[in-house]
Amino acid sequence: MPNCFERFRYIKKDKKTEDNCNSDNCHVENSNSSSVTGNVPELLIGNAKLLEERLKRYEDENEQISSTTTLIDRVTYLRKNRENDVSKAIANVEDSMNVDLCFVLDCTSSMLGHIQAAKDHILKVANYVNSNNSNIKFWVGFCGYRDHNDQDRLQIFDFTNSIKKFETYITNKVEAKGGEDLPEDVLGGLSAAITMMTWSNATRILIHIGDAPPHGRCFTEGVNLPNKYDRYPNGDPYGLTAKSVLKEMQSKNILYHFGMINNTTDVMINIFREIIGEFTVFDLKTTGSNPSILVDKFCKATSSAIFSSVTLTTTLRNSKSIHNLQLKKLEINPLEPDWTTLPEKIGEILCYVPPETLNEVKDEFYFINSNFTVQNISFKLAPQPFSVGAERYAFFALDAKLGQDKKLVIKKYHDIKASSMEQYLESVEIFSIAYFLSNKFNIAAKRVGVNKKVTFIDVKVLCDKTDFNTYYTVEKYINDIEFKRFNVNSGIITEFHSILEAFAHFTYQYTKGYLVVYDLQGGNLHDEFLLTDPAIHCIDLLRFGTTNLGKNGIQKCFLANHKCNNICKKLKLNEVNSERKKDGNLFRKILNALICASK
């Protein structure tokens, strides 16, 4: 059987319009093509069968449309629906950029270094976050706790957008003192932060840092320490429980992160996860006497918490969805199964013929079922996912004919009908276009001396014939790669790389503003970025699924935050804000003229 992941190669004669450029000095190839936007085009009306396939992808996500509704009415209805959905999504993105960031710290005697690091790192975090994400604004607050018999058991500094006030408060008001037995008033500290502070922004982050568990036998049993004395072995003397505190936290859409200092909190972490699902645990253990190392750890932890929380809030939008995802993460198994114990399945790989011109990219009818080639495959599928994201599970899989030499990754949407393949087609369509544009980018980049490539992992649709025609996407498994998210569909840059931001800019200019490829994630290798699962913002809202935020997405989630870098300049890409600058200059000229005329 041929290798299902060897790329199909079709040689077509290049069009002259794609080999030339309007500007003699421009390194971006140019193509003349039309796009389908606005009202229903005559072509769509005249080709009902092709349009049916397009519309089905979006009708599955909306209420059932009457079978008697005309084709034109269906298109109009779906387009209006998408416009409304996108408007809400953009508003949600903008709201999510406003962040409440609360540090909840154990302030007993052993925590002096961590209290100092909490103060020293916050300005560095603000500068780092805003260096590439000026649209993120955050307010910082503090809640310190000690133990029930300590003076100043709780200390609260409510949210402020003044870094200076935050630093001054910790310097002058917060002292490491108290603490007799092993446990501390953890639940009291968390409860105070949740109920006594003014949480008002869309993204709400609580970073809890402590070196001791709460009171109660359930938190101290199993802790390997010689002195496990607990003054309150029956739990919090005021009746607080982990469940009541954490459920209150969830009801307020507050995202919990923990900074671990030692192993005495391991049992607490497990109990908390049973209640609220998976959450991030940062390593804040001290090593040696160099305080800058701890400050750096704080910076990485806080920056990561901000980026991941803003992304989660933008994507899932409500506490129930976030909680469901956190619980799903508890179901994963990161280990490969014993393949010899698993049954062999029979399936079909559905492969698009990749586009080779910009006209084909913009032609929504190019990506239809009739353009598929089909290959048979025998495969094995792990019973549990090894990873889960906001939209999909990822499973280990194996090409049964090629064995261990051909490991695969199979992805399945959380909430989609098993028999429907429309949403999976969107994923492959997005990959095919990202692949086409990355090839064009790599050619242009090489001409100007940029040799590190942007490459997308090949994605195909898999139909499981053994399991009632269940659909998945399937791609190669890449060994020994550290998976990272470099930027996000909402416009956040989580790890800046000039090549990747220039690639996104290139996709915008090459397609003449028709689309932007973003949400870039994968591995940063020596000679290439190996990427998977991108998203596309496109002016045609009836393409590329619900992650497509349309013209507003291009403007507000990419152009508004993009700063041209050295790669953009080498490629001679147009400054993305030049048009807005022209408009602003024109407005100022008109305003000045009116002022002069009125004198």
d(CA 315, CA 302): 20
> What's the pLDDT at 523?
96
**Which position has the higher pLDDT, 489 or 9?**
489
pLDDT value at 545 more than 90: no
Q: One-letter amino acid identity for 82?
A: R
Taken in order 227, 233, 235, 238, is the CA torsion positive or negative? Answer: negative
What residue spans of 380-485 are helical by DSSP H?
Answer: 422-447
Least confident of 162-176, 204-218, 397-411: 397-411
For residue range 110-153, list pLDDT tens digits in order. Answer: 899 999 999 999 989 999 998 899 999 999 999 999 999 888 89
Average pLDDT over residues 374-397: 92
Spatial strand order in the sheet of 254-260 = 154-160, 137-145, 98-106, 203-210, 254-260, 281-283
Burial class (CB in 10 A: 0-12, 13-18, 19+), 330: exposed
> What's the pLDDT at 418?
45
Least confident of 70-74, 283-287, 294-298: 70-74
CB distance 54 to 364 below 8 Å: yes
CB distance 256 to 268 below 8 Å: no
- Please report, rounded to a whole number, the percentage of residues in the chain having pLDDT higher than 90: 59
> What's the pLDDT at 61?
59
**Would you tell me how many other CB atoms lie within 10 Å of the CB of residue 94?**
16
* Average pLDDT taken over every residue of the chain: 84
> What's the pLDDT at 57?
65
pLDDT value at 572 more than 60: yes
Given the DSSP bridges, would you call strands 345-352 and 372-381 parallel, antiparallel or unpaired?
antiparallel
Least confident of 62-76, 306-320, 328-342, 488-502: 62-76
540, two tokens: 């045609």
Average pLDDT over residues 374-391: 91
86, two tokens: 């996108």
Closest Cα partner for 520 from 479, 571, 558? 558
Cross-strand bridge partners of residue 103 = 142, 207
SS3 553: helix
- Please report, rounded to a whole number, the percentage of residues in the chain having pLDDT higher than 70: 80
Average pLDDT over residues 16-42: 44
**Which position has the higher pLDDT, 317 or 253?**
253
Taken in order 244, 259, 222, 234, is the CA torsion positive or negative? Answer: negative
Cross-strand bridge partners of residue 387 = 394
Least confident of 89-93, 279-283, 471-475, 588-592: 588-592
> What's the pLDDT at 50?
63
Torsion of CA 295, 301, 302, 303, to 10 degrees: 110
Q: Which residue has the tokens 């005495």?
A: 264
Least confident of 171-180, 182-191, 295-304, 373-382: 171-180
The string of DSSP letters for 1-68 reads: ---TTSPP----PPPHHHH--SSTT--S---------SS--HHHHH-HHHHHHHHHHHHTTSPPPPTT
Q: Indicate the pLDDT class of residue 73, thresholds 50, 70 and 90.
A: confident
Q: Indicate the pLDDT class of residue 21, thresholds 50, 70 and 90.
A: very low
When mean pLDDT is compared over 10-19, 47-56, 141-150, 316-325, the highest value belongs to: 141-150
Average pLDDT over residues 465-486: 90
Beta strands in 183-229 (DSSP E): 203-210
How many degrees, rounded to 5, is the angle at CA 573 between CA 569 and CA 579? 115
Contacts of 374 (CB under 8 A, 6+ apart): 348, 349, 350, 351
Q: Indicate the pLDDT class of residue 227, thresholds 50, 70 and 90.
A: low
Q: Indicate the pLDDT class of residue 14, thresholds 50, 70 and 90.
A: very low
> What's the pLDDT at 288?
64
Closest Cα partner for 548 from 159, 540, 198, 556? 540
What does the DSSP 8-state code read for residue 561?
T
All domains in the chain, ordered by first residue: 33-77+333-570 (3.30.200.20), 97-330 (3.40.50.410)
Average pLDDT over residues 204-225: 87
Least confident of 263-272, 564-573, 579-588: 579-588
pLDDT value at 592 more than 80: no
Least confident of 145-159, 519-533, 584-598: 584-598
553, two tokens: 């997405």
CB distance 333 to 384 below 8 Å: yes
SS3 169: helix
Average pLDDT over residues 554-583: 85
Least confident of 68-72, 166-170, 343-347: 68-72
pLDDT value at 5 more than 60: no
> What's the pLDDT at 192?
98
Q: Counting every residue, how long is the chain?
A: 599
Q: Indicate the pLDDT class of residue 296, thresholds 50, 70 and 90.
A: very high
For residue range 241-291, list pLDDT tens digits in order. Answer: 999 999 999 999 999 999 999 999 999 999 999 999 989 999 998 766 677
CB distance 150 to 178 below 8 Å: yes
> What's the pLDDT at 221?
81
Average pLDDT over residues 557-569: 95
Give pTM, 2 decimals: 0.84
d(CA 210, CA 218): 17
> What's the pLDDT at 238?
93
Q: How many CA atoms lie within 13 A of 494 on its CB side?
A: 25
CB distance 456 to 531 below 8 Å: yes
Q: How far is CA 154 from the centre of its chain?
A: 35
What residue spans of 348-497 are helical by DSSP H?
Answer: 358-362, 422-447
Distance (Å) of CA 106 to CA 112, 233, 284, 335, 348: 10, 19, 13, 35, 56
pLDDT value at 460 more than 80: yes
Average pLDDT over residues 426-437: 94
What is the phi/psi pair of residue 106, to 5°?
-65, 120
d(CA 81, CA 58): 10
